[in-house]
Structure 1
Amino acid sequence: MILRTFGWSFLFTVVGVLGALWYGGAEGAFIAAILIVLEVSLSFDNAVVNAKVLERMSEFWRHVFLTVGVVIAVFGMRLVFPFVVVAVAASLSPVEVIDLALEKGDPDTPGTYGYILAHAHHTIAAFGGMFLMMIFLNWVFEEKDILWLRFIEKPLEKAGKIDALSVIIAIAALFGSAKAFAGEHEAAVLTAGLLGMLSYLVVNGLATAFEHEEEVLEERFDEDTKAHGGQVTLAVGKAAFFLFLYLEVLDASFSFDGVIGAFAITTDPIIIAIGLGVGALYVRSLTIYLVRKGTLSDYVYLEHGAHWAIGALAVLLMVSIGHEIPEVVTGLIGVAFIGAAFIMSIARNRREGDADDNDTDEEPQEALA
Structure 2
Amino acid sequence: MVLRIFGLSFAVTVVSIIIAALYGGPQAVLLVVILSILEISLSFDNAVINATVLRRMSEFWQKIFLTVGIVIAVFGMRLVFPLVIVWLASGLGPVLALDLALNPPADDAAYFPDGSPSYETLLTDAHPQIAAFGGMFLLMLFLGFILEEREITWLSWLEKPLARAGKLDQLAVIVAGGLLLLTASYIAPEDTVSTVMVAGVLGMITYIAVNGLGELFNTPEEDENGEVVEGSSGGPTELAKATGKAGFFLFLYLEVLDASFSFDGVIGAFAITSDPIIIALGLGFVGAMFVRSITVFLVRKGTLSDYVYLEHGAHWAIGALAVILLVSIGYHVNENVTGLVGVALIGAAFISSILRNRKAAAAGGSSDNDVDEPKPVTIS
Shorter-chain TM range is 0.7 to 0.9
Structure 1 pair 65/110, CA: closer, same or farther in 2 (3 Å)?
A: closer
- Aligned 1:331-350 pairs, distance under 5 A: 331-350=339-358
Q: What's 1:197 paired with?
A: 204
Which of 18, 37, 44 is 2:41 aligned to?
Answer: 37
Matched residue type, 1:312: A
How many Å separate the matches in 2 of 1:155 and 1:272? 43
Q: 2:337 matched to 1:329?
A: yes
Structure 1 pair 353/279, CA: closer, same or farther in 2 (3 Å)?
A: farther
Which of 296, 302, 307 is 1:299 aligned to?
Answer: 307
Structure 1 pair 279/245, CA: closer, same or farther in 2 (3 Å)?
A: farther
Matched residue type, 2:45: S
Q: 2:87 matched to 1:102?
A: no
Structure 1 pair 180/349, CA: closer, same or farther in 2 (3 Å)?
A: same
**Runs (5+) with no aligned partner, structure 2:** 109-114, 227-241, 368-380
Q: What's 2:265 paired with?
A: 262
Q: What's 2:180 paired with?
A: 174
How many Å separate the matches in 2 of 1:294 and 1:184? 48
**Runs (5+) with no aligned partner, structure 1:** 224-238, 360-369
Secondary structure in 2 aligned to 1:43? helix
Secondary structure in 1 aligned to 2:37? helix
- Aligned 1:54-203 pairs, distance under 5 A: 54=58, 66-76=66-76, 79-81=79-81, 83-84=83-84, 94-103=94-103, 110-181=116-187, 182-203=189-210
Q: TM-score, normalised by structure 2?
A: 0.72
Q: What's 1:367 paired with?
A: none
- Structure 1, 109-118 or 91-100: larger mean CA deviation: 91-100
Structure 1 pair 87/169, CA: closer, same or farther in 2 (3 Å)?
A: farther
Matched residue type, 2:38: I
Structure 1 pair 64/141, CA: closer, same or farther in 2 (3 Å)?
A: closer
1:165 is displaced (CA, Å) by 0.9
Structure 1 pair 209/99, CA: closer, same or farther in 2 (3 Å)?
A: farther
How many Å separate the matches in 1 of 2:303 and 2:345? 24
Greater helix share, structure number:
1
- Structure 1, 164-173 or 102-111: larger mean CA deviation: 102-111
Matched residue type, 2:325: L
1:166 is displaced (CA, Å) by 1.0
Q: What's 1:206 paired with?
A: 213
Does structure 1 retain, via aligned residues, the 8 Å contact 2:138–2:257? Answer: no
- Structure 1, 38-47 or 333-342: larger mean CA deviation: 38-47
- Structure 1, 146-155 or 68-77: larger mean CA deviation: 68-77
Matched residue type, 2:216: A
Structure 1 pair 131/343, CA: closer, same or farther in 2 (3 Å)?
A: same
Report the number of matched residues.
336
Q: TM-score, normalised by structure 1?
A: 0.74
- Aligned 1:14-29 pairs, distance under 5 A: 14-16=14-16, 26=30, 29=33
Once the two structures are superposed, residues 1-39 of structure 1 have per-residue CA deviations (whole angstroms, 9 ceiling, x without a partner) of 221232112333455577679676756633431312333
Matched residue type, 1:343: I
Q: What's 2:112 paired with?
A: none
How many Å separate the matches in 1 of 2:201 and 2:349? 31
1:156 is displaced (CA, Å) by 0.9
1:83 is displaced (CA, Å) by 4.5
Once the two structures are superposed, residues 174-221 of structure 1 have per-residue CA deviations (whole angstroms, 9 ceiling, x without a partner) of 1111111222321122122112222222222233234x1x43xx5499
How many Å separate the matches in 2 of 1:103 and 1:96? 10
How many Å separate the matches in 1 of 2:135 and 2:307? 28
How many Å separate the matches in 2 of 1:314 and 1:257? 9
Please give the root-mean-square deviation of Cα atoms over the aligned residues, in Å: 3.8
Secondary structure in 2 aligned to 1:162? coil
1:163 is displaced (CA, Å) by 0.9
Structure 1 pair 65/118, CA: closer, same or farther in 2 (3 Å)?
A: closer
